Amino acid sequence: MTKPNHHDIVVIGAGICGATIARELLECGKSVCVIDAANSAATACSSHAYAIAHPHIGKGSPRLLRLTRLAFLLAEARWGKTWNAHGIFLPTKKDRTFNRDEVSAHLRSLNLEKDIAIPLDAKEASSVCGVEQSGVWIARGASLDLSQASKELLSNHDGLTCLWGTQITCLENVEGIWRLKDNQGHVVVTAKKVVLAAAMGTKPLINSLGLRLPLRPVRGQLSIFSINPQDHWVTKLPRVGISGDGYCLPALKGNDGIYRWMVGSSFDEGEDDLVPRLTSDDFNREQAKGLVNYADGNVKHLHHDGEFVGVRCVAGDRLPIIGALNQRPGIFIATALGSRGILWSALAAKLITAQLLEDDFALLARLGFASDLVAALAPARFLAGALAAPGALASNSKPILPSEPSAR
């Protein structure tokens, strides 16, 4: 049998997360081998063409708010020149009244300067966004085709090797070198450092290391609706993205005069079935009414024209799991991106690269990665107490962190 190829750095998973990390490492002058079970990049959750990005502005979860601000700036630095910069409007919750001074003070407390987030009353929002309801306008909010972005990140590069159609089922350490094995038990490659960016597929890989992480699937379906040009819905369609209870993109008018509008999404906890459901479309029709504040809208006039179904990977505390796995030196994890694939993959690329290369911590501090934020993302929050010896199991499904409201 021929000796397996050796790589300094292997990334398992070629979705948006693995692709962004691999590109960051390439940009730092490193060679990287990316391995994916599928035959090309972005075939799983990152086949999603309609993902949005904006900093979170809700109340509570201060750590989540700081992280999403930081991640948004990193994502903007990576994709800002090419993503769809239509802006995102965040409507005031239906049970709250709009108070401009209060909202402005809250935004200031989050370090969201006026060029990122501004409060709008219903009249202003109608003129800026085409929706008559108060809220916060994120002019730099945008959407990104994750599939296209992943493929671009993994486009030809001298330092990049891609192994497609290769499922890794087990990791084993022999004298400081990681052996990555397939389901026949054959060593596919060996590596010094391995990044696990395989979404739910990270779970069995971690199990093979004798550890457990509390990862859960959450199915989601987005709907694309078509709307006839004479329909009253046309007067309600937004010119911008909206993110509230669900989210939608700006409606687009086709050459045939028909409007197409992407609205989502269902959030089916614990499910991983990719078959489209009529009930999910109906759920999205109801969300559509709420998003554009059109309670009387006849949902029958939102005609089904397509959908995207994906399975998010989420952790017990709804934050991503990003960082070095100190219990198994040389292993790094970037998973549980939940519904924030754009933000968390941009953040994971910086954090994993700095930890893996052990040379960029000053830059991380300058970017705003305070140590409590790094700790909030670290795999160790689920593994404290795990013994360093292979075979030790950490059964904690709850994170070990100072308590704080969990993030969805």
Residues lying near ligand FAD in the complex (CB under 6 A) are found at: 12-18, 35-38, 43-46, 48, 51-53, 146, 167-168, 197-199, 201, 205, 220, 222, 264-265, 310, 312, 337, 339-343
C-alpha–C-alpha distance, residues 48 and 262, integer Å? 12
C-alpha–C-alpha distance, residues 338 and 217, integer Å? 9
User: Which residue number, 103 or 189, has a Cβ lying nearer to ligand FAD?
Assistant: 189
| Closest distance to ligand FAD from the beta carbon of 51 (Å) | 3
User: Which phi and psi angles does 358 have, rounded to 5°?
Assistant: 50, 35
Tokens of 280: 């999910």
| Closest distance to ligand FAD from the beta carbon of 345 (Å) | 7
Return the half-sphere exposure (C-beta side, CA atoms, 13 A cut-off) of residue 189. 24
Q: Is residue 181 within 8 Å of 398, Cβ to Cβ? A: no
Cis status, amide bond into 265, omega within 30 of 0: yes
In single-letter form, the type of residue at position 51 comes to A
User: Which residue number, 160 or 199, has a Cβ lying nearer to ligand FAD?
Assistant: 199
User: Which residue number, 205 or 364, has a Cβ lying nearer to ligand FAD?
Assistant: 205
User: Which residue number, 54 or 63, has a Cβ lying nearer to ligand FAD?
Assistant: 54
Torsion over CA: 235, 241, 242, 245 (sign): positive
| Closest distance to ligand FAD from the beta carbon of 169 (Å) | 6
User: Which residue number, 120 or 144, has a Cβ lying nearer to ligand FAD?
Assistant: 144
User: Which residue number, 121 or 182, has a Cβ lying nearer to ligand FAD?
Assistant: 182
Return the half-sphere exposure (C-beta side, CA atoms, 13 A cut-off) of residue 276. 13
Tokens of 229: 């040009």
User: Which residue number, 98 or 251, has a Cβ lying nearer to ligand FAD?
Assistant: 251
Taking CA 318 as the corner, what is the angle to CA 316 and CA 320, rounded to the nearest 5 degrees?
A: 100
User: Which residue number, 220 or 323, has a Cβ lying nearer to ligand FAD?
Assistant: 220
| Closest distance to ligand FAD from the beta carbon of 39 (Å) | 9
The helix-helix angle for 341-357 and 62-79 (nearest 10°) equals: 90
| Closest distance to ligand FAD from the beta carbon of 193 (Å) | 16
Rg (CA), the chain: 22
| Closest distance to ligand FAD from the beta carbon of 146 (Å) | 5
| Closest distance to ligand FAD from the beta carbon of 163 (Å) | 9
- Please, what's the largest Cα pairwise distance for the chain? 72
| Closest distance to ligand FAD from the beta carbon of 150 (Å) | 7
C-alpha–C-alpha distance, residues 249 and 264, integer Å? 9
Tokens of 257: 């005069």
